[in-house]
Structure 1
Amino acid sequence: MAGADGFVLLNGVRVVASWPEQLKAAQEITTYQISGKGYARVAYGDEGEDWGADSRPCHDCAAIKGQFHVPGCDVERCPRCGGQSISCDCSEDEFSNGEFDFRNHQEKAVSAYLLKRPHYEEACLVAKNILQRSIERAGIKISSIDARAKDPHSFGLKATKPSESNPGLPKYADPLVDITDLAGVRIIAFFPNSIAKIDEIILSEFHVLERSDKGEKLYDEGRFGYKSVHYLVLLGPKRSSLSEYEKYADTTIEVQVRTILQHAWAEIEHDIQYKSTSVIPDEIRRRFNALAGMLEVADREFQSVQDEDDRLRQTARQMIKEGDIDDVEITPDALKAFLAKTIGGDQRIRWSSYDYLARALRRCGFRTLRQLERCVRGYDGSELSRLVYGSRQGQIVRCELMVLASMGELFVSRHPWSNEKWFRDGSDEMLRLFLEGNVEIGSFDPLIDS
């Protein structure tokens, strides 16, 4: 487990938290391709010089005797010339027999990336924290926000991707510079409207190098896909000038923003065999098009539901404020506004408590706030609370005590917990205390008073 500073002990050597993974991955690289020929790597302890492998791990990469070094380690020896692997000239020639050596290019790229990956891990976490705090301040609800540095294996595959214009050469001549998604943040929003709000946050918090809608791009290329907005950003100048951020000032970070449904499509798309509309069978094409349309409609409908819910909440709050509660349905939000107005606000109450009380009242037969208002009329929640508990309890407890006094045994029998002995016994004791305190027990029934 990583310490508070992000470091761990590996074979007794203090390393960054991701280093054990990198050392493990290095064991999968057993050969180096040099000038078109494969050479078995030199394990720690097999060097011509004595680096102390019998008594201690490698001082640079923490490998133990018999393990391969992490590519780029100062100690590793070149299997062809015996010199220092990172500084000898053996692997400089990326052409063999006149052809570009993609394998050599990949190994060099991965070796360089493994040394810098901890920096990219830190950079994307910095970006994630900035975005997360900004999104929370803006009151935007999201499903998730994740940060990750690119997987070394994926990086190696991307580094060897052939150029579209000249397949004999790699698309990325300098992978560490040309590949821009080495540090990434992905934000999954619930609703389409949130994407526009998050867009404003990204534009204000970062220097945006590039913004692209991948859905539109895929459509223009005749490929299947779904909307997702991608950004390439740098830290803004004010933040990057601070000492804690300056080392990330020139680090490009990719930010992806999409809805849950867009993310579902993107994840499934990885397993789709046909990527181009020019080769897909007509039947499959029709089904993909229908599915893409359904997802877009579903996204819009979810947004419409949220918009309508916001409208109903605002309308209900205004009606409660004006005392026009005849048709205001009992919901957690409406109940909170009603109780705040009638028996006083209570900042200690959690949303789950309003949800519980709303469900209990619905189970008892209540539908509108007017019914609840008639039910508790004439009862003093603070007085009932002192009779039962000896002190004035919170807002939810006082409301429930008033309903119990007004409905009597009917409230107990209809309550969601009516089958629980502890609830029945506790309610009977409360009713007894009410009677001792000269409180009249009513028989209000919301199913009749409707």
Structure 2
Amino acid sequence: MSLAVEDAGFVVDTGQFQEQALQHAAQAIRNTILGRLHDDGLNHHDVQFRVKTPESAAEKMTRLDDNGELKYPGGLERLDDLIGMRVILFVESDIEAVAIALSSQFTCLDDEDKTAMIRKNGGIGYAGRHLTLQVPAENTPSGCSQHVGRRFEVQIRTVLQHAWAEFEHDIRFKGSSGDNAEISRAFTMASTLIELADQQFVNISDILKRIQSEASTEVAPEPRMLDAGALQGVLTRAFPDSRSSKVNQYDWMVNVLAANGIETVSAAEDWFNAIDPREVAKVMGYRFSPGQVRIADDLLLKFFGESYVDATKEVGSDTNRETKLRSRLRRLRPERDQA
């Protein structure tokens, strides 16, 4: 689709706006982000994307800077937000870890923590953590090989920040009373309450982690079979300083453990209590504290080696798990490559 727009004496041609190709790229990027969050055991609510419409892209390309010149004279290639991703989390303390994870997976062109800037300057309100990323030519994520060089923007926010931002956008940009002083004051008050609620969500997460860590490890006379809830307690006691993973990842790890002969709560307790996770963390060089399930996955991989790859490569829906495991195993056991 080709659009030509004239504004302030400038004629802007969007060229062939390939909306379908952008949709395919956005879906591939979303799959990569979901895979990375799963691999790192990072809890999240949702990952969404949107592709800019041809009309919206054409309008943006007519915008002028302070000197009256086009802000985006290079056309579509100058627009970083043709694809917009949104990662929605439960607790604010996970935002930093997700930002680091995505910056490691893609090439990071810009990282702006607007919320932190507002708070540092004494302001109130949500602005968000915004990244500008690019699909890299080296170590290109699986499924993204056709989209090398594609730039996109990512917003990382909590579910509460997301609700506030969406409602404000509808009122201010789609409504007819966005500039009303009374409405602005109400939004400011709401943003303050949301900030406080986000802090309490972090507190609740920390309290839950402490309770699970302090829970009794006594085993009932009859061996208790491992399930997701019991495993979360086991991993919280084994890694008390690590963040919780997404609920369904504990279900997945139960199956992974079963594939390696660990099927009861007592067996899992014994195994993880006997292993020092600091050794793996040192070798892997984690840039942030990964989720409990990722740490468990790496510990099992280092201990069992090739047999672990063979036993668990098809557990779950990740078709690239075997490749990822072998890459991580080379880092965990570098002596193998020197043999």
Shorter-normalised TM range: 0.5 to 0.7
1:239 and 2:139 are equivalent in the alignment: yes
**1:350–1:205 CA distance, 2 compared to 1 (3 A):** closer
**1:122–1:193 CA distance, 2 compared to 1 (3 A):** same
- Please say which structure displays the higher CA radius of gyration: 1
1:177 aligns with 77
- Distance, in Å, in 1 between the alignment partners of 2:136 and 2:27 is 16
**1:138–1:185 CA distance, 2 compared to 1 (3 A):** same
- For residue 59 of structure 2, the aligned residue among 157, 174, 177 is 157
Unpaired runs of 5+ in structure 2? Answer: 231-263, 265-339
- For residue 230 of structure 1, the aligned residue among 127, 130, 144 is 130
Number of equivalent positions: 230
- Give the TM-score of the pair, scaled to structure 1: 0.44
Unpaired runs of 5+ in structure 1? Answer: 1-69, 73-90, 322-337, 353-394, 396-450
2:223 aligns with 344
SS at match of 1:255: strand
- What are the Cα deviations for residues 247-267 of structure 1, in whole angstroms up to 9, with x where unaligned? 322111211111011111211
Counterparts of residues 14-413 of structure 1 (less than 5 Å): 70-71=1-2, 100-101=9-10, 104-105=11-12, 108-109=13-14, 111-113=15-17, 116-166=18-68, 169-216=69-116, 225-240=125-140, 245-273=144-172, 284-316=183-215, 319-321=216-218, 341-347=220-226, 349=227
How far apart are 1:131 and its partner, in Å?
A: 1.4
More helix by share: 2
How far apart are 1:294 and its partner, in Å?
A: 0.8
**1:308–1:264 CA distance, 2 compared to 1 (3 A):** same
| Paired residue type of 2:101 | I
How far apart are 1:136 and its partner, in Å?
A: 1.3
SS at match of 1:160: coil
The percent of aligned pairs where both chains have the same amino acid is 25
| Paired residue type of 2:38 | E
How far apart are 1:342 and its partner, in Å?
A: 3.3
- Distance, in Å, in 2 between the alignment partners of 1:153 and 1:183 is 14
- Give the TM-score of the pair, scaled to structure 2: 0.58
**1:160–1:307 CA distance, 2 compared to 1 (3 A):** same
Q: Report 1 or 2 for greater relative contact order, CA contacts < 8 Å, sequence distance ≥ 6.
A: 2
| Paired residue type of 1:262 | Q
The answer (yes or no) to whether the contact 2:63–2:70 under 8 Å persists in 1 is yes
**1:145–1:174 CA distance, 2 compared to 1 (3 A):** same
- Distance, in Å, in 2 between the alignment partners of 1:131 and 1:273 is 30
The answer (yes or no) to whether the contact 1:192–1:299 under 8 Å persists in 2 is yes
- Distance, in Å, in 1 between the alignment partners of 2:121 and 2:82 is 25
How far apart are 1:179 and its partner, in Å?
A: 1.4
- Distance, in Å, in 1 between the alignment partners of 2:197 and 2:125 is 16
**1:158–1:151 CA distance, 2 compared to 1 (3 A):** same
1:37 aligns with none
| Paired residue type of 2:222 | I
